Amino acid sequence: MNAADTSFKPADAPVPGNAVSAPFFLCGELFQGQDAVHRSRDLGVTFATPRIDLDRVVHPRTRVPPLLNVPLAEIIDFLVETGQRLRDPGNPFVRECVDRMALTHVLPRAVLEEQTRSAAAYLDRRLLHAVVEQNFPDPKALDEWVPKQDFTGRKSFVRAFAPRLIHVLPGNSPGVAVKSIAQGAMVKAVNLFKMSSSDPFTTVAVLRTMADIDRDHAIVKSMSAVYWRGGDDAVERALYRPQYFDKIVAWGGGDAISNVTKYLGPGLQLVSFDPKTSISMVGREAVSCDEALDRAARLAAADVMVLNQEACVASRFIFVEADQRDADRFCERLHAHIVEVAAASGDARPLDMDLREQVEMLVMLDDEFRVWGKTDGKGLVIRSDEPVDFHPINKTANVVRVDSLDDAMRYVNVATQTVGFYPHQRMPDYRDRLASCGAQRIVRLGEAGPSTIGNPHDAMYPLHRFVHWMAHEDGVAPGGS
């Protein structure tokens, strides 16, 4: 292992061979090194990391978690101060992080800067309290052994005990890093963050900001962030064991999850945030007049363009209840609005070759499909009678024309996350069927991004699932049976 950098000053030596340095953070200490060079897919950039000292990322079970007896109120104070420092334009850790991320991320620098700033908005006192209150019927269980008594007179204490968590972080939204740190802290967990190759920086930057406040605080001592290549047996076979951790909190699907599931078993559970597709439903009210048409198209474009369509809440398929002529009018307006938002973001990555090919083929089959825009990454709309085969990404919307929104229900499945609806008055007619098909969230069109603070995510209250629910049975009250 490399010598710890105890200065907490951003003074990374340049790494030879153009690799960007990605230091690790272990329980308050920063580690730099160039023992391993990894590759980030999106921009084909390499980054260098130190070796992982595996012994240091696990917390012996014979020692209680450092945060266990730190009051929740104090943890929230600390998180709030972290938020203030993250928003400070002079924060050297954040600045350096964005510098590095811009090299490895698909999103442009301005979008990344804004994301880091808005990620810090999660660290708000009222918000954090609301999250805890929504997740736990009695948040006191985080701080103390809460006394209970059932109707037979049997007594006990229950504690939402501090767990040991591995967070397998996604790379498409820096906000998840901040959120995961806050949630891990509020449940008082011992946290190991496994960073993603497309963002091996943000988590460490946030943790360094926290260490700069008080490097000896229990919250800082409870956090480690490292990178290894997902699926690397040498690391995962050693770490993914119930003797070291209680839960693996994992984002993503496919290989990322199948790598993890083979390690699950008694004592080691998975809390998964599954890969999701979001969609929109636009009723025939939208094509009733030009004004409504433009409004619905503008709202739909806003949902398509969340994080330039990199996020899971970003809409990809828009079911429009109209005949072909009206659907085409909607498409035209939708395209114009997407192009406008796309141009303002300054992000014009052309579509991948594979996607480009499939779209161009639909241009050829013009008696069944119609395409607005080009494959240049500046905004694209495809109209069809059923959803296209590919995953619309990079500012691409597929408008699927239906006679009735009822017909769109069969395209809702277990991978459907958010459904944006227009007009919102029709939402109650559809929400039961949407839930039955597997969807998790129904919102007014144009409001895919925001959600009520503390609401369920991926059909669960995550914090409630993170903790180790512990019961202390305490006999029977006098007079009980």
Partner 1 sequence: MTPVTSASEKLMRLAAAADRFDYSAAELRETQVAALDERFQERKDRIKLLGHRAREAGTAEIRRREDMVPLLFPHTVYKSYPESFLIEERWDRLGKWLGTVSPHPISPVETSDIADIDDWIERLAAKGHYVSCSSGTTGKSAMLLASDRDMDWSRTDTVNVFSWGSGVRPARDRRMMGLAPTASVPKNLVIGAAQQDAFGDPARERFRLPIPAITVGSLTKMIVLRKKIADGTALPGELADFERTSAERQEALDKAMIAGAEALVRYRDEKLYISGLWNALYQVARIVREMGYSAKDFHPDNCIYVGGGLKRAQLPADYQEFVHETFNIPATRDFQNYSMQELNSGMPKCQRGGRYHVPPWLVPFILDEEGTALLPHETGEVEGRAAFYDLSLDGRWGGIITGDKISLDFSPCACGCKGASVRNNIVRYADLQGDDKIGCAGTVDAYVRGLS
Q: Which is nearer to partner 1, 195 or 282 (CB)?
A: 195
Q: How far is the CB of 444 from partner 1 (least distance, A)?
A: 21
Residues, the chain, total?
481
DSSP-based three-state secondary structure for 342: helix
Residue closer to partner 1 by CB (options 159, 247) is 247
Instruction: Determine the Cα–Cα distance for residues 248 and 399; give it in Å rounded to an integer.
Output: 37
Q: Which residue number, 80 or 102, has a Cβ lying nearer to partner 1?
A: 102
Q: How many CB atoms lie within 10 A of CB 209?
A: 23
Q: How far is the CB of 425 from partner 1 (least distance, A)?
A: 28
Q: Which amino acid is at 114?
A: E
* Nearest distance in Å: CB 232, partner 1: 8
- Can you tell me the distance from the alpha carbon of 344 to that of 34, in angstroms, rounded to the nearest whole number? 38
Q: Which is nearer to partner 1, 13 or 353 (CB)?
A: 353
From the CB of 197, what's the least distance to partner 1, in Å?
5
Residue with Cβ nearer partner 1 (196 or 222):
196
The encoded tokens of residue 408 equal 């769109």
Shortest gap between Cβ of 259 and partner 1 (angstroms)? 8
Measured in Å, how far apart are the chain's first and last C-alpha atoms? Answer: 60
Closest approach, Cβ 277 to partner 1, in A, equals 6
| Rounded Cα–Cα distance for residues 185 and 60 (Å) | 18
What is the closest distance, in whole angstroms, from the C-beta atom of residue 364 to partner 1 in the complex? Answer: 4
Q: Which is nearer to partner 1, 216 or 389 (CB)?
A: 389
Which SS3 state, helix, strand or coil, does residue 337 take? helix
Is the CB of 236 or the CB of 328 nearer to partner 1? 236
Q: Which is nearer to partner 1, 231 or 475 (CB)?
A: 231
Of 104 and 222, which has the nearer Cβ to partner 1? 104
Q: By the 8 A CB rule, do 247 and 268 touch?
A: yes
Q: Which residues pair with 190 in a beta bridge?
A: 164
Shortest Å, Cβ 120 to partner 1: 19
Structure-token pair, residue 442: 């129904």
Give the CA distances from residue 324 to residues 46, 330, 333, 348, in Å, rounded to whole numbers and listed in that order: 48, 10, 14, 30
CA dist 112 and 116 (Å) reads 6
DSSP codes of every residue in 77-125? HHHHHHHHHHH-TT-HHHHHHHHHHHHH-SS-HHHHHHHHHHHHTT--H
Tokens of 75: 């943890």
Residues that bind partner 1 (CB under 8 A): 39-42, 44, 168, 170-173, 176, 196-198, 229-231, 251-257, 273-277, 310-312, 314, 353-354, 357-358, 360-365, 368, 386, 388-389, 391, 393, 410, 413-415, 437-438
**Closest separation in Å from C-beta 31 to partner 1:** 21
CA distances from 473 to 69, 147, 162 (A): 21, 10, 19
